Structure 1
Amino acid sequence: MRIVVAGVMALAVAACGDKAQDNMAAADAKAANFTPPSVTSRLDYGGAISRRFRTLDRNGDDALTTDELPRANTRLTTLDRNGDGKITQIEYSEGLLARFDAMDLNHDGTVTSEEREAYRGGQRGAPTPVAPGP
């Protein structure tokens, strides 16, 4: 009888160990894919796009041409509103700020990581609240 009880106890302890290891593996996988939440204000975003424009404008003529863009087939070419083959700083800033405003789903002047993911996912409503972690 004692042997049977000891066997059952050993199996129970072993099963708990496997579950603990499974939980630890799941937690490790979740931690490896963790992206910290972020909040970007419109002002910060505007400064970043201004700096990016200056970096891309290698010849300093206050306009971007296709040879200054990161890739030949880029969405940035759609910012050329007048179709002259150049993207001025005004066209660049207004176009990218319009994108920021589209991502700002609750129109509070900031874009959170949840809003950014909702925008990228094609959702145009309010972002889904994220449950707090363990």
Structure 2
Amino acid sequence: MRLIIPLLCLVFILLVAGCAQHQVVVSPNTGAQKESASPTQISNSLETYPAPPQDNAVSAQINDKDQADKTIQVFFSGGKGQKMVRSSWIMIKRSDGSVERFELPPKAQSEVVLKGTDGEDQVRVYAEYYDGQIYQIADKSLRMRQRL
């Protein structure tokens, strides 16, 4: 009986020490970008994913660049599968080569305004469903309109 308590304490200490070796490292936010982490990690490039299945589809609207200030409005439009969407985000690749990610709340008519450039900017919108699948729900290449 005297050995049981010290053995149980030793097993408990070993279990706690084993769990302590697995640490989660969170990278600090620079504050300069409106970049957020997604439940699944993706690279800072414009990746191509399939469109969502028609029976659970959602969509987003990407408006043309504003001619005055080069801003781009992006809206989450919703759809049949809206309740199945865990998160959605926008990736923009600007003509200067910079790539940024912005969270877009998966609620109908949620809006994010992006800062564009004078050149051609590529905007893609992605949605991650609760089953872990990632789909591309919008894609648009935007240029400043030529004045005549």
User: Same fold by TM (over 0.5)?
Assistant: no
Give the number of the structure whose alpha-carbon radius of gyration is greater. 1
TM-score normalized with structure 1 length: 0.30
What's the TM-score, normalizing by structure 2? Answer: 0.28
Q: Choose between structure 1 and 2: higher strand proportion.
A: 2
Judging by fraction of residues, say which structure has more helix. 1
